[in-house]
Structures are given as structure tokens and as C-alpha cells.
Chain A
Amino acid sequence: EVQLVESGGALVQPGGSLRLSCAASGFTFSTFYMTWVRQAPGQGLEWVANIKPDGSESAHVGSVKGRFTMSRDNAKNSLYLQMNSLRAEDTGVYFCARGASLLDYWGHGALVTVSS
């Protein structure tokens, strides 16, 4: 059974940093593109970033470019999102998902709250 479990969500002050993790199991993690999607409170879904299977290349949406970095460790079946210079508008639930076009499995999400 495919499982994706996010962790690392927290309350952080504006300008602060946070690293989210996503533990993958039930499939050959190293052969799949992976994606982070976020959802502001009561709002819709926003694509954040995705990464190639070997981790050699990642792409980030404009609103987070230069502040967020997506990475992976295939030996640990883990995905990461390093978030720096956090802003109030980054508040929301962050989901990891399998794929980079259609997303066929999703985690339950990690809540990030940026507030003073």
C-alpha cells in the first residue's frame, strides 16, 4: 500500500525557517517524480514544487522561488521542503504527492502557520 506521511509542520514567525519531510513507503520511491502542493486555510490547491526521480532537478513556482527548496533522499525514501524567509501568506497545509503531472497518491498534509 502506497503511503505518504508528512511531518515538520509548526508555528513559525515571519522571516523564519522550517523544513518539512515526507516519508514514502509501498512503492519504488526512487523511480517517481514527487510534488509539494499547499492549501491556504479554507482555500484551493496551489502547486509549490516538483522534483525528478534522481533529485537532479527541481522546479518551484514563482511565489516561492528563491525561498523554498525541494530535495529528496532516495536512500531514506524521503522528500523534503526547506522553507526560508517565511511569510504570512505561506500559511496552510502542505501535501506531498506522487507524480509531476497527475498526482495519484497524496499524504494527509502538514500544517504550517506563519504568525507573530
Chain B
Amino acid sequence: EIVMTQSPATLSVSPGERVTLSCRASQSVNNNVAWYRQKPGQGPRLLIYDASTRGTGVPARFSGSGSGTEFTLTISSLQSEDFAVYYCQEYNNWPRTFGQGTKVEFK
């Protein structure tokens, strides 16, 4: 089973700031990584797949990069709706696994 490790666990930021979240896989997952945003009381929303492709209707402020074992999600200018928890997930192996999440909170 692949272990996905996200950092940091919590990020305190102000609206408008640029945010970078990291995700590391315990072994290569090629570019088979997705990122999700989860708001309280809701199911996650797909943001990025194939490491760098934005999902349907996802704003351009979200971008993803990386391959192999190191991946990054960048939010260029944080909006109020972006205060949430972010998860990375690999789909190169079974069972699919998620990172433990990064909480982006208001500074």
C-alpha cells in the first residue's frame, strides 16, 4: 500500500495569499495523483487529476505539478471559499490511498 504524506498539517494564511501544499508518495506513482478540497459537512470536490490537469469548472487559481513521488498543489490567490481541508490521492496502485490532509485556516 502506498503511503501519501502531506505537509504541512495546518497552514494559517490570509485571503489573497499564495499557498503551496505538498504531497509525497512512499514510492513512485507516476503522475497518477488527484487533489481534492473538502469543506465542513460536504463531500470532497475534485480539483486536479493526472497531477496537473484541472477538473471541470475548477478555477484557474488552482494548479498542480509533480511526478514520481513529489507533488504540489498551488493556489495563486486564496479566496474565502478556499479555507478548507485539502487531500491528495494516488491511483497508480490498489487500494487507492489518500494523504492525511492539509487544513488551510484563516490567519
* Interface residues of A, Cβ cutoff 8 Å to B: 4, 44-47, 59, 61-62, 95, 97, 101-109
Contact, CB under 8 Å: B101 / A44 = yes
Contact, CB under 8 Å: A59 / B99 = no
Q: What's the tally of chain B residues with a CB closer than 8 Å to chain A?
A: 24
The answer, yes or no, to whether B95 is at the interface (CB within 8 Å) is yes
The answer, yes or no, to whether B14 is at the interface (CB within 8 Å) is no
Interface of B, helix, strand, loop or mixed by DSSP: loop
The answer, yes or no, to whether B55 is at the interface (CB within 8 Å) is yes
Q: Which residue of A lies closest to B44 (CB)?
A: A106
Contact, CB under 8 Å: A44 / B46 = no
Measured CA separation A4–B99 after assembly (Å): 24
Contact with A along B88-104 (1 / 0, CB 8 A): 01010011111111000
**CB neighbors of A among B69-86 (8 A):** none
Q: Which residue of A lies closest to B90 (CB)?
A: A101
When distances are taken between beta carbons in the complex, the residues of chain B under 8 Å from A4 are 43
Pick the residue among A44, A46, A47, A109 that contacts B43 (CB under 8 A): A109
The answer, yes or no, to whether B12 is at the interface (CB within 8 Å) is no
Measured CA separation A95–B49 after assembly (Å): 19
Contact, CB under 8 Å: B98 / A107 = no
Contact, CB under 8 Å: B34 / A59 = no
Contacts A101-B32, A106-B44, A107-B43; is A44 near B91 (CB within 8 Å)?
Answer: no
